[in-house]
Each structure stands twice: as structure tokens, then as C-alpha cells.
Amino acid sequence: MSNSVISVISRFLEEYASSTPNKLKVIDAYLLYIMMTGALQFLYCLLVGTFPFNSFLSGFISCVGSFILAVCLRIQINPQNKGEFLSISPERAFADFLFAHTVLHLVVINFIG
Amino acid sequence: IFVSGISASFILLVLSLVLETQALTPTHHLTTTDVARLQAVLSQPFTDLKSAYYSVVGLSKLGISVADAATCRFIKSNLDPSSVESLFFAAEASQALPGCEIPVSNDTRDLLLATVSEDSTASQIHQSVSALSSLGLPLASQEVVSALKARISKEDNVLTIILALQTASRLSQQAELGEILEEIEDLAARLDDLGGVYLQFEEGLEATALFVSAAYALSDHVDMEPPLKEDQVIQLVNSIFSKKSWDSLSEAFSVASAAESLSNNRFHVPVIVSAQGPAAISHSQPFLRLQVTNVLCKPLSSASVLVESATATSSKSAILSQAPFTLRDGVFELNFMASQPASGYYQFSVAIAGDSRFVANHVELKVKVSTRVSINNMDLSVVDKDQSIGPKTTRVEYPAKAKASFMADSHQIFAMTFQLVDETTGVELTPHQTFVRLHNQKTGQEVVFVAEPDSKNLYKFELDTTERKTEFDSISGTYALYLMVGDATLENPILWNVADVVLKFLDEEAPSTIQAKTLYTPKPEIQHLFREPEKKPPTVVSNAFTALVLSPFLLLLILWFKLGANISNFTLSPSTVLFHIGHAAMLGLMYVYWTHLNMFQTLKYLAIIGSFTFLAGNRMLAQKAVKRYTHLLPVFSRPKCCTVITTKYIMNQQHHYQQSNIEH
């Protein structure tokens, strides 16, 4: 059983390393960074307590929001999805990504207190 | 709702009719001190002719004559023969002074006669007519009447009509005064009824008083009774004589003339009945004394005062009927004690006869009869609870105290019986207050009980120590026993220390000291607890976690480096540079927003920087897109940090494209 899991995972990693374009790998690295940051914040909250709750929420929401926006960017940039995003060029996707981040950061900074 | 409203108003109407049938008696009248005060006001030294007129004529109305040569000289010297008003004051005042004559010239007479016309004011007509009459000059009454009637029809106010009435009373009796006489009734209808007690003009006290004197002057002159009902007369008396200090000389004068006309007219004379001192009778003071006067506080010697009935308020039995008062020294008195009334309150109905003019001559009085009380057969005893055999009774005589003190513990009852009788008649009394007070000398505690009479009017008091231990707080000791007797009709209230009683309570649960009731001492202070700040984790933990949270960024940089991300495709075109500067500025603004600004300021700056960044970024991305399309390669630059494609790769592709282009 564990053998098959390991083999599936290693196969997945191989496929990932070979067939994914470098751009997407860069975004994936970014995604991993965001996720780890969010997880560590949540761990702090569990261990030490929720005082000041608004700051915790804003930090956590920032991580979650950034993760979602980066995933959207990844989907829109992926050349394999070109058929579904005919009207949206990668530049346009990136511009949307930046604008959405501006709004997200505005809200986060407002809430962080 | 309507039915109940109608029935309520009907009931009110019936009630008011019923109440009105009871005769009113004056609630306000002048006392002798008030009359003296009025006299003093009118006797003040006068400064001009007007005040001289008020003083002299006012005092004459009070029956005081001012026979003063200096006054006459003053009047003559201040007289201005060209002014009607001045002539009026002088003429009236000189008439009140015996032996004072004003010289009259033809011009004066002509002036006065000329003033009598429709064009003069009512006051001018009144003054000229009065002056002519006082100076003994002839006048044409009919002309005056027509002038007055014209004046009344032009000016319908109260003062004009009052002056017209006054003027008419100086005219000859042959003149047609009928229409002016009718004005009295119309004017009386204009009076305001306040609560059924007062009747006055809204113009004030002076107008009301002047109306009264004018109405009676004219009525006496034509010998016709004024159309004022008895109750109205009494209400007018209340209004005029309720004010005991007067604002001005003219007001005092009007009150004096009203008082004089109400005392001396031919039709209505209000009677003032008041008891001399409190209306209380006792054996030491057996006479009920009444003062019967007119409104000027002059005793009515022609009156005969009769008690129509005297009934006891409690038993409603009539004690007296048709008993006359005897007049002695201007005061009417009656020896009520001779009828041997029992102590208590009596309702007297008194009638004053002797003159058909008397108004309000039925008076109701409440008279108190007091007496002295004596205590008989005061017996004290201590009875055993289980047996009721032969208790030892001790008789105590008032005001002595029992020699031995009485002992009562939980098995015994202390009992007290006595009788309260009227000292003179021996009739048993039941006063309102019969209290038994026990006073502990050591602790200062006192407990009060009520002694109740039984059916035979014998007072009994029993003290059961077990039953009553809560009142005493179970404190044993010697208590001084007092008997307190009091009533409104008792002349000698009693506080008698009868005996000392030693009480023994079973369970000594009492507190050692008596605490006075701490109702009004300061209460303990409330300390306000401010909201505690939340517990914060130690700084070490916070710093450690901050470092931990920032660590994935390092991981990101490492990963990117490993992936070969770089910024080698970074072109230095102006739009690119500007875009990066603008974007950096936006991030900086976020930091400044966190530290200094509020949302509105941030949005303002964000709009400026954002639009700038947007334009630059748009340009930059367009250039990139163009570059990408021209190379048919998905070139994508990520200006945020690192890009992917190396320049070598781009050049390679460019070379291939150019080659393929040349080939075609």
C-alpha cells in the first residue's frame, strides 16, 4: 500500500519537474511560500492565543487572498488553458493580479490595526 | 362614551345647583388691623392735589374726618382753574373738609359746563359733573345723560361704564336714569367668577371696587335695589377684601370707598362673623364669643344673634336650639357650658337678624368643647400564665408611682387596667391617644403599646414576655412604665410614670449593645475596577514567531534561485522604470497608511499614485505584449521580481524567426 503511494508521488514529482514550464514553477514556489506563511501564522494563533484578534485575521486573510489571486494568475497564464481565456492575454492577467492585490492590501492594512 | 359624558355633566349641573342653594359666607374680610393699615396708607402726607383728593376723601369714607386748615390751604394753592381734573380733585376734597370753600369764577363754571358734551371722555364728563355738583353749581342733567349714553355706545369698556354710573348718581332724580341703571346688570354679567369664591373684573381689583361703590351709589340715589344676588355680593366682598396691602393710593381709595358703600347702602350689608380667639370652650372658659361686624369692622349693635341649632358632630344630637347671644362690650357671647355639653366638637348654626339688609347672615361654626381627664382605678398585677388564680393587684393613684417594682418572666403576664373619666362629670372618655411606653433606662430602648378599651370603656393592657420578646430584642432588665393620654379635646394631657417593671426574657439572644439604625451613615466606598488589559505573551515568544513567519521568504528566494528565475529581461524603458517606481510608492503608501493615515487620505494618495502606476504599467505591459507577438513567443516578464527567459533564449528564437522569414 505505502509502496504504491510512494510510487505515485515520485511519478507525480517527475512529471511535474519535466512538463511544467518554468514560469509556472516560479508561481508554484510563490504559492508554497504563501501557504507556509499562513500556516505558521495559524500555528502561532493556536499556541499563544488570539489577542489581538483583528491582526491575526488580517494577516491570515492576506495569506489566503494572495494564495487565491496567485492561483488565478497561474490558471490564466497556463498555455494549456489558452482556449478558455482567449480574451485575456497574460499581460492582462498580470495587470488584474496587481489590481486585485492592491485592493487586498488596502483592506488588510486597514484591518491590521 | 357620549352617554357617560352627558350623564356626568348632568350630575355636575345638579351638584352645582345643590351647592349654590347653600348660602355663601365671606372667606376674606378686613380685620381691624387691616382697616388700620388702610387708614395709614391713606394718611400718608400728600405731594399733589390728586393724592390730597385720595387721602382726604378716602379717610372721610372710612369715617375719619380731616379737619385741617393746612390741607385746605394746600388744596387752594395747588388748584389750577383751567384744568377740569384739578377742579374735580379740589371740589371733592373741599367738600369732605368742613369749612373749606373753593372760590368759583364764571370762567370756571363755563369751562365745566362746556366739558359736558359727547366729545369729552367719560372721565372728563364725570369730573366736570362731580365738580359742578360739589361746588353747588347748576347743571343740566338731561344733557349729561345724553352725553353719557353717547359715550357708552362709543366706548363700551368697563371703566367708562363705571364712571357713567358714578356720574349718574350726582344728577337730579328727575332725569331719565333708567338706561344707565340697566348698565349695572350688564356690567355685573361681565364679572369673572373664580371658583365660585371670587367675582372680579379682569381689569383688576380697583375696577371691581369702583364698580361696587358706583353701583350702590346710583342704586341709593334712585332707590332701586341693584340686580346683584346675595352670593354675588359675598363673592365681590371676597375679591375686594382679599388683598391686604395696596399698590397705590388710588387702589386703597377704591377699597375704602367700596367698604363704605357696602357698610352704608340701603340694600345689601354683608355681615362678617368671627369667633374671638379660638372657638373653644372649657370649664375655665365657658363663654363662646363672637364678633359680628360690617365690612369696615364696625360692630353691628342693632343685630340680634341667635343659635339656631348646635349639634354634636359625632352623635348628631342637638344640644341647643334657638338660643340667643347676649351683647356685651360690642361682642356677642353665649354661655355654652351651661348646657353641659360632653367634650368633643359641635356644629353651630348661627343666624344674625335685625336688619333686612343683612347679607350672609347665616353662619356655620365649628366649636370645640374641651375637658379635663382623670384616671381612675389604675390596677397593676402580675398573673401566672397557667393559673389565673388570685393575682396580686396593686392600685396606684395618679400622680404617684408604685413603690415596688413588678417582676415578670416568661411564665407570667403583666396586666394593667384603668378607667379614663371626665373630671367634672365623671363620664367615661375614650381619648384618641392612650399609649403605654416601656423605657429601658440602661440601654435607652423604648417600646410603645396601645391600650384598648373594652365594651364597658375599661382600658386593659397586657404584656406577655414571650409573645413580645421581638419588640424588646429579648433584653432583660428594668423598664420604666409610662402611661400617655392625649386628645384634641383634653386640656390636661397626661404622661405618668406608673411603675417599674423588671422583665426577664428566656433566651438571651440579644446583642450586647444596641446598634442605632445605620441608615444615614456613609456606606462602604465602591472601588471602580478599570478594564484589565489583555494578557500578552512574553516578547521572546512574539519575536521568535515573527522570525519564524518571515522565514518562508528565504525559502522562496532559494527556490526561485534554483529555478533560474532572474530579471535579465528587464528593459530600461521609461514606462518600465516609472511603473516600478509607482508600484513601490504604492507599497510604501500601504506602510504609511498603517502607521499614520486614515482610509480617506490613503484613498486620495492611492488614486493619484495608482492612476500614474496604471498608465505606466499599461504602457509597459503593452510593449511586452507587442514584443511577445512580434517574436511569436510567449514572452512574459514579471516585473514584480524575477523573470524566467534568458536573453540568450530570446535571441535564439529571434534568429530562428528571422531565418524563417528570409527563407520565405
- Reduced to 3 states, what is the DSSP secondary structure of residue B281? strand
d(CA B279, CA B465): 46
The whole-number pLDDT of residue B393 equals 83
Alpha helices in A20-82 (DSSP H): 22-48, 53-77
Average pLDDT over residues B111-122: 85
Mean pLDDT, chain B, whole residue set: 83
**Is A16 within a domain?**
no
**Which residues fall within 8 angstroms of residue B617, CB to CB, at 6 or more apart?**
A95, A98, B575, B579, B582, B583
Provide the shortest C-alpha distance from residue A71 to chain B (in Å): 15
Nearest CA in chain A to B584: A102
Question: What pLDDT sits at residue B647?
Answer: 46
| Contact state of A29 with B624 under an 8 Å Cβ cutoff | no
- Residue B588: pLDDT above 50? yes
Asked if the Cβ–Cβ distance from B622 to A91 is below 8 Å, we say yes
A23, A40, A95 ranked by CB distance to B636: nearest: A23
Q: Which residues of A touch B597 (CB under 8 A)?
A: none
- Which of A20, A22, A25, A26 is best to mutate for the B interface (most B CBs within 10 A)? A26
Within-domain flag for A7:
no
pLDDT at position B109 is 86
Which phi and psi angles does B33 have, rounded to 5°?
Answer: -65, -35
Task: Determine the Cα–Cα distance for residues B637 and A99; give it in Å rounded to an integer.
Answer: 17
Task: Determine the average pLDDT of the residues in A11-27.
Answer: 87
pLDDT of B649 strictly over 70:
no
For B364-406, what is each residue's pLDDT tens digit?
888 888 888 888 888 888 888 777 656 778 888 888 888 888 8
Contact assignment for A36 to B642 by CB distance below 8 Å? no
Angular region, B297: left φ>0, alpha ψ -120 to 50, beta rest = left
Closest partner residue to B556 (CB to CB) among A29, A40, A110 is: A29
CB B284 within 8 A of CB B236: no
Task: Give the whole-angstrom CA distance, residue B523 versus residue B378.
Answer: 48
Closest CA to B498 of B568, B402, B419: B402
Has residue A96 been placed in a domain?
A: yes
Residues of B with CB under 8 A from a CB of A: 534-537, 541-542, 545, 548-549, 551-553, 555-556, 559-560, 563-565, 583, 586-587, 590, 593-594, 599, 602, 606, 610, 617-618, 621-622, 624-625, 628, 634, 636, 638, 642, 644
Using an 8 Å Cβ cutoff, are B499 and B396 in contact?
A: yes
B358-359 and B269-270 beta bridge pairing: parallel
Residue B215 has pLDDT above 50, yes or no: yes
Instruction: Give the closest-approach CA distance of A1 to chain B in angstroms.
Output: 32
Residue A92 lies in a domain: yes
* A52 located within any domain: yes
- Please tell me the predicted confidence (pLDDT) of residue B638: 47
Considering CB atoms only, which of A44, A94, A98 is closest to B545? A44
Q: What is the pLDDT of residue B251?
A: 92
Q: Taking residues B189-201, report their average pLDDT.
A: 90
State residue A99's pLDDT score. Answer: 92
**Residue tagged 348661627 (cell numbers):** B350
Q: Indicate yes or no: CB of A51 within 8 angstroms of CB of B555.
A: no
Cβ proximity of A36 and B552 under 8 Å: yes
Query: For residues A95 and B609, what is the distance between their CA atoms, to the nearest angstrom?
Result: 15
Residue B20 has pLDDT above 50, yes or no: no
Which residue type occupies A87?
Answer: S
One-letter amino acid for residue B613 of the chain: T
The x, y and z cell numbers of residue A54, run together, are 483583528
CA distance B16 to B12: 6
| Domain range enclosing A102 | 21-112
pLDDT at B644: 45
Phi then psi dihedrals of residue B620, to 5 deg: -65, -45
Residue-level pLDDT at B196: 87
CA distance B296 to B263: 7
**With 80 as the cut, is the pLDDT of residue B637 above it?**
no
Nearest Cα neighbor of A84 from A94, A93, A73, A76 is: A76
CA pair distance A85, A75, nearest whole angstrom: 9
pLDDT digits (tens, 9 = 90+) for A63-72: 999 999 999 9
Q: What is the per-residue pLDDT for B541?
A: 84
Which has the higher per-residue pLDDT, B510 or B549? Answer: B549
Residues of B in contact with A32 (CB under 8 A): 552, 555-556, 559
Give the containing element (helix H, strand E) for B304: strand B304-312
CB B563 to CB A29 under 8 A? yes
How many domains does chain A contain in total? 1
The pLDDT assigned to B7 comes to: 59
Tell me the residue type at A3. N
Please give the span between the terminal C-alpha atoms of chain A, in angstroms, as a whole number: 50
Give yes or no for residue A34 having a pLDDT over 90: yes
CB contact under 8 A, A77 and B625: no
Q: CA distances (Å), A95 to each of A73, A102, B626, in order?
A: 10, 11, 16
Contact pairs from chain A to chain B, CB under 8 Å: 87
Q: B590 vs A106: CB contact, 8 Å cut-off? A: yes
**CB–CB contact A94 B621 (8 Å):** yes
Q: What are the cell numbers at B300?
A: 353691628
Test mutation, A27, A82, A104, A109, chain B, max B CBs within 10 A: A109
Give B201's DSSP letter.
Answer: B
Judge: B563–A95 Cβ closer than 8 Å, yes or no: no
Residues in B touching A25 (Cβ below 8 Å)? 563
Q: What is the predicted pLDDT for the residue at B648? A: 47
Instruction: Categorize the per-residue pLDDT at B642 as very low, low, confident or very high, splitting at 50, 70 and 90.
Output: very low
pLDDT band at B538 (very low <50, low <70, confident <90, very high): confident
Nearest Cβ partner of A37 from B552, B563, B642?
A: B552
Residues of A in contact with B556 (CB under 8 A): 29-30, 32-33
* Residue A37 to residue B559, Cβ atoms within 8 A: no
Q: Which of B583, B625, B634 is opposite residue A79, by nearest beta carbon?
A: B634
Percent of chain B, pLDDT > 70? Answer: 89
Minimum mean pLDDT range among A84-98, B63-77, B548-562, B565-579: B565-579
Q: How far is B604 from chain A (nearest CA, A)?
A: 12
Give me the pLDDT at residue B632, please: 64
Question: Which of A23, A25, A41 is nearest residue B549 as measured by Cβ atoms?
Answer: A41
Q: Find the closest chain B residue to A37 by CA distance.
A: B549
Domain assignment present for A4: no
CB contacts, 8 Å: A90 with chain B: 628, 634, 636
List, in order, residues 6 or more apart from B549 with CB less than 8 Å away.
A37, A40, A41, A44
Asked if the model's pLDDT at residue B134 lies above 60, the reply is yes
Sign of CA dihedral B6, B9, B15, B19: negative
Chain A residue with Cα closest to B560: A26
Q: Which of A48-57, A71-80, B11-20 has the highest mean pLDDT?
A: A71-80
A48 to chain B: closest CA residue: B537
Residues from chain B that touch A105, judged by Cβ atoms under 8 A, are 587, 590
Nearest-CA distance from A6 to chain B in Å? 23
How close, in Å, is residue A100 to chain B by CA atoms?
12
Secondary structure class of B118 (helix, strand, coil): coil
Q: In chain B, pLDDT over 90 holds for what percent of residues? A: 10
For the sheet containing B287-293, what is the strand order? B272-275, B287-293, B331-335, B326-328
Place of cell 520565405: B664
Query: Is the Cβ pair A94, B535 closer than 8 Å?
Result: no
DSSP string, A71-113: HHHHHHH-GGGGGGGTT--HHHHHHHHHHHHHHHHHHHHHHH-
B405 three-class SS: coil
> Which residue type does A110 have?
N
From chain B, the residues in CB contact with A103 under 8 A are none
Q: What is the pLDDT of residue A42?
A: 92
* Residue B276, C-alpha cell as written in the block: 374671638
Per-residue pLDDT reduced to its tens digit, B79-107? 888 888 888 888 888 888 888 888 888 88
**3-class SS of residue B322:** strand
pLDDT reported for residue B658:
53
Per residue, what are the HEC states of B120-189? CCHHHHHHHHHHHHHCCCCCCHHHHHHHHHHHHHHCCCHHHHHHHHHHHCCCCCCCCCHHHHHHHHHHHH
Q: Which residue of B has its CA nearest to A111?
A: B594
The reply to whether residue B537 touches residue A49, judged by beta carbons under 8 angstroms, is yes
Instruction: Please state, in angstroms and as integers, the Cα–Cα distance from residue B506 to each residue in B369, B476, B492, following that order.
Output: 49, 9, 40
Closest-approach residue (CA) in chain B for A93: B621
Per-chain mean pLDDT for chain A: 89
Read off the pLDDT of residues B467-505 as tens digits, 9 standing for 90 and up.
Answer: 887 788 777 888 899 999 998 888 888 898 988 888 887
Q: Which three cell numbers stand for residue B550?
A: 518571515
Bridge pairing between strands B459-464 and B412-422? antiparallel
DSSP B567: -
The verdict on a CB contact (< 8 Å) between B545 and A32 is no
Amino acid B655: pLDDT = 54
Q: Are B503 and B408 within 8 A, CB to CB? A: yes
In the predicted model, is pLDDT for residue B643 greater than 50? no
**Min Cα separation A55/chain B (Å):** 12
Whether A57 maps to a domain, the answer reads: yes
In this prediction, residue B664 carries a pLDDT of 45
